[in-house]
Structure 1
Amino acid sequence: MLRRVGGFVVDVLIVGAGPTGLTLGIDLARRGVEAVVVEQADALFPGSRGKGIQPRTQEVFDDLGVLEAIRAAGGPYPPRIVWKDGERLGEQPMFEPVEAEEGAPYTDPLMVAQWRTQEVLYARLVGLGGRVVFGCRVTAVEQDASGVSARCGDGTVLTARYLVAADGGRSAVRRAVGVGMDGETVDAAPFLVADVRLRGLDRDHWHTFLADDGSGVALCPLAGTDDFQLQARLPGDTGPDLTLDGVRELVAAYTPLSAGDVTELRWASDFRPRTGLADRFRVGRVLLAGDAAHVHSPAGGQGLNTSVQDAYNLGWKLGAVLRGEAPETLLDTYEEERRANAAAVLELSTGVHRGTVRRGKATVQLGLGYRESSLAEETRTDPSGVRAGDRAPDGTVDGLRLFDVFRGPHWTLLGAPAPATAAGSGSGSGLRALPAAPGSYGPGVFLVRPDGYVGWAGDTARGLAEYAARTGAFAGS
């Protein structure tokens, strides 16, 4: 199966160069895993669609070495101002405040147009030696016990040991491997989203114009650009007009602006908010991630963030299995952890869309974890503070910031010396150890996974070796 047939042989073939595929490509590249991202379009996605970068995703981007570039590409969210009959009714923050603390240094969502996020991720991937092949539309997938073959529209066959479908909500790979997706309509109204340039509105507010029938238009200044993102909920069942003239007519109908105040249409798309959850996230050597596995309402900024974290969860597991450091069954925990997580986030984003959940503490994703996972082993007799499966908070030990220690593809041991059998211990790879955990963790020994969650916790290090054997925790990175 692993042969060159008009293409190339790699460890992992990633289908889709959106945020999910690019994040996974970065994580695999820094682990020395040979992976290639293929994208059916001729270039990166051009729109602003998924513009919210939640605090948990900021932590992921910090680890992957792109947070500063992401910050430079965007900025904070402006307050929302509501207009009615041509008059401003007042402003309010978009999010309920979340207080920053040592364990959670990032609490405010960032606004970054999706096309800018993807440019940052693409540059990082290429800088690590990764590859993206554009203009490759996967039309068929076959697999056997040794690998996966993907056929492209031009007849090229690409082969890999594993394939990850990150090709969106209409995933061709998901259909090719026979995985269904169940969901519901969140809102029956037609919606339009577009990137426009206009004059006549300040860039200090997210402007919302509401009509009595529930329809309306919002114009949000996109941080880091000269554009506004237009979002419209339309009446009736008529499909939106995605042309410049159609957008101008829409703006003139709902806002005090004239049609001529819209000077440029840069990108537009229409949709009806819905949810979708794939029946399975893994079929043999094919794994589903991002929108190929779950589809969200855009309300609350959850979809892109959940997708990035799919990739972050999967990257270290693929790396450990491909290097022979962990059994192949480790990959089963990807579906176990991420499908349950996606189901919870789908319920949350639907609640935000329908107005039953406020943006704030519930949507920053800092509280999501894996306590029920088979990879979460809590062996302390009287646990307190952080538990196995929880996100590992930031903190300070011996003058070292934990997030600085966590940064990289390794595991981290808190509260015990690195075992003598730990490959790479003391050399900066494999496993890093600190003599204690911060007081916020509670007493005990904690083994922190490469994706920043506590995998194992115990009163002492007894039993840790058995856990490491099935996860590759003590192997070199």
Structure 2
Amino acid sequence: MPATAPTTQVLIVGSGPTGLTLACDLARRSVDVRIIEKSSAFPRSSRAKGPNPRSLEVLEDLGVVDRVLAAGSAPIPMRKYRNGLPVTDTDPFETSRPTPDAPYDRPHLIAQWRLEEILRDRLAELGVRVELDSEADTLTMGPDSVTVGLTDGRSIEAQYVAGCDGAHSRVRKLLGIPFEGKTDEEQSMVCGDVEMEGLDRGYWHQWFDEDGAVMLCPIPGTRSGWWFQAAPERDPAGALVPPSLESFQRLLARHTGLPGTRLSQATLLSTYRVNERLADRCRVDRALLAGDAAHVHSVAGGLGMNTGIQDAFNLGWKLARVVTGQAGPGLLDTYEEERLPVAAWTLDFTSERLRATLDAIAQPGGGLDAAVSEETMGLGLGYRWSSLSPAGSTTRLRAGDRAPDAPCRDAATGLVIRLFETFAGPHFTLLGFGPGTADALRATEAAHGDTVRVCGVDAGTGHGVTDDGGHARSAYGIEPGTNVLVLVRPDHHVGLIAPADDGRAVTEYLHRLDRRTVRHSGGLDQSIGE
């Protein structure tokens, strides 16, 4: 008898920001996707404080950035205290401004549960809903599918499964993938959402002293809700005291001098310990890992949720091409090839940022702003080492780099249009700078249809865009009067840079991408942010 087809093309285990981003990306590519969540109700986690600029670019591409910006707030100044008295106010983004090539210049504060609501709403618009009370229990790999057994006795067969189920990932454990690293019990923090009146909501308040700390940040969209973080209490034996309303009240009174009774309704309680762990691989045949299931690290710099969102954005287009038959399974090797070095770099970087922050708060006026740097914005991360990044460069970019934005004008209507608007959606984009690229643009459009959207930049083709302000050429490092082709991948990274007369390079690139068996090109010591 012929084998029956899998019940779905992709099964996603875990409905946090990583799993939801992946589900949205796959669903808009017409992939049959299911996403399951072991909880009986949607978790209301608030630990992650919001997307960084690179994740905002991802959310724009998914069509939800306006909702995210409306539901949250820009970062607020940090007010630092010593001995209960304010010492200084610091705004680490005071001098930051959007630029033509980077429309988002700072992170955005939003409760994680609210971001997840927005992504679930977008996913529902695409015809997919999260399936609650569905906990993975077993995983059986077959030649053409993978079957996940659930704890209630049901099973789901899929072409591929993506484990986006957090640091304690059941999928990772079932695959037998090591999760090596360390847990620092000394660097611990208790967290929760609290209600508090009488504190200025225009600041992120941070009290530091010799034996502890309390931090209170207002939760956007609430009247009196705050994120509470503190160095935990310890009992006489030195063990951590579990978080509770009463312990939060004691910590508040001890480190701030404010009455503990000002704080009420502590919920979403947790104890955070600094974990630095990395999976030694992200793929076993038809199963893949993303987000915290593959890597965990210090919260310094706020890169945890953001790294997971960007994992999903890298994986989505590749997985879609494989399950729809456009590419062979070898394309999925490039997910691990590109993202595992980024995860390893993130572990090292956040560890360094944690040390810098601890050194800073030991001094009057020091605070969490010490964790903020250009790298925490996520805009400099690329894949220059990847086998999907062949030789090719301009004065500013190399294959593998993030593709910049730029405001231009629609050649037909004269209206302002950004390059990101051209990139948006499940396709490659071929930018042709200069009239010498017109033939290559026409040939690519005829040969590749919906796979590649072509966009001439001052190419004189009657459509595309005009670069009146020179912003596109500046962002892409292309001198006036020169003619260059730039192929942008669906995840907004540069795939190829080629001379204008080498239109065949695009077809050859797509052919290699879709049909070759991709080789890994290196270990975890590759340069990340060049």
Normalised TM-score (structure 2) = 0.84
Amino acid at match of 1:430: T
Q: Aligned to 1:36, which of 27, 34, 37?
A: 34
Deviations 1:332-359 (A, max 9, x none): 0000000011111221212221117641
Identity %: 41
Amino acid at match of 2:509: Y
Structure 2 unmatched ranges of 5 or more: 358-369, 411-416, 459-471, 479-483, 516-530
Match of 2:299 in 1: 298
> Shift of the alpha carbon at 1:99?
4.0
CA contact (8 A) 1:2 1:147 kept: no
Deviations 1:54-81 (A, max 9, x none): 0000000000000011011110111111
Q: Secondary structure at the match of 2:457?
A: coil
| Structure 1 CA distance for aligned equivalents of residues 229 and 446 of structure 2 | 52
Match of 2:61 in 1: 63
Q: Does 1:408 align with 2:406?
A: no
Q: Secondary structure at the match of 2:87?
A: strand
Q: Does 1:435 align with 2:456?
A: yes
Match of 1:225 in 2: 222
Match of 2:336 in 1: 335
Amino acid at match of 1:136: S
Amino acid at match of 2:405: D
Relative to 1, partners in 2 of residues 1:397 and 1:82: Cα closer, same or farther, differing over 3 Å?
A: closer
Amino acid at match of 1:238: A
Relative to 1, partners in 2 of residues 1:424 and 1:150: Cα closer, same or farther, differing over 3 Å?
A: farther
Match of 2:518 in 1: none
Match of 2:244 in 1: 243
| Structure 2 CA distance for aligned equivalents of residues 114 and 302 of structure 1 | 13
Relative to 1, partners in 2 of residues 1:354 and 1:303: Cα closer, same or farther, differing over 3 Å?
A: same
Q: Does 1:371 align with 2:368?
A: no
> Shift of the alpha carbon at 1:360?
2.8
Amino acid at match of 1:211: D
Q: Secondary structure at the match of 2:274?
A: coil
CA contact (8 A) 1:191 1:240 kept: no
| Structure 2 CA distance for aligned equivalents of residues 68 and 330 of structure 1 | 32
Q: Aligned to 2:48, which of 47, 50, 55?
A: 50
| Structure 2 CA distance for aligned equivalents of residues 358 and 252 of structure 1 | 26
1:373-388 map, 5 Å: 373-379=386-392, 383-388=394-399
1:46-445 map, 5 Å: 46-95=44-93, 97-185=95-183, 188-213=186-211, 215-226=212-223, 227-234=225-232, 236=234, 237-355=238-356, 358-379=371-392, 383-399=394-410, 400-415=417-432, 416=437, 417-418=440-441, 420=443, 429-436=450-457, 438-440=472-474, 441-443=476-478, 444-445=484-485
| Structure 2 CA distance for aligned equivalents of residues 423 and 253 of structure 1 | 70
Q: Secondary structure at the match of 2:104?
A: coil
Amino acid at match of 1:291: D
> Shift of the alpha carbon at 1:223?
1.8
CA contact (8 A) 1:424 1:431 kept: no
Q: Aligned to 2:511, which of 461, 469, 473?
A: 469
Amino acid at match of 1:220: C
> Shift of the alpha carbon at 1:398?
4.4
CA contact (8 A) 2:249 2:263 kept: yes
| Structure 2 CA distance for aligned equivalents of residues 100 and 290 of structure 1 | 28
Q: Does 1:453 align with 2:454?
A: no
Amino acid at match of 1:463: A
Deviations 1:212-235 (A, max 9, x none): 13x211011112223100111236
Q: Secondary structure at the match of 1:135?
A: coil
CA contact (8 A) 2:163 2:288 kept: yes
Work out which of the two has the higher radius of gyration on C-alpha atoms and give 1 or 2: 2
Q: Secondary structure at the match of 1:188?
A: strand
Q: Supply the RMSD in Å over aligned alpha carbons.
A: 2.1
> Shift of the alpha carbon at 1:403?
0.6
| Structure 1 CA distance for aligned equivalents of residues 106 and 188 of structure 2 | 30
Structure 1 unmatched ranges of 5 or more: none
> Shift of the alpha carbon at 1:120?
0.5
Q: Secondary structure at the match of 2:121?
A: helix
> Shift of the alpha carbon at 1:292?
0.1
> Shift of the alpha carbon at 1:38?
0.4
> Shift of the alpha carbon at 1:209?
1.2
Q: Secondary structure at the match of 1:245?
A: helix
Relative to 1, partners in 2 of residues 1:457 and 1:358: Cα closer, same or farther, differing over 3 Å?
A: same
Which deviates more from structure 2 when the two are superposed, residues 93-102 or residues 162-171? 93-102
Q: Secondary structure at the match of 1:378?
A: coil
> Shift of the alpha carbon at 1:324?
1.2
Aligned residues: 465
CA contact (8 A) 2:192 2:270 kept: yes
| Structure 2 CA distance for aligned equivalents of residues 137 and 324 of structure 1 | 29
Amino acid at match of 1:470: R
Relative to 1, partners in 2 of residues 1:424 and 1:39: Cα closer, same or farther, differing over 3 Å?
A: farther
Q: Which has the higher helix share?
A: 2
Amino acid at match of 1:431: V
| Structure 1 CA distance for aligned equivalents of residues 488 and 65 of structure 2 | 21
CA contact (8 A) 1:2 1:9 kept: no
| Structure 2 CA distance for aligned equivalents of residues 457 and 327 of structure 1 | 24
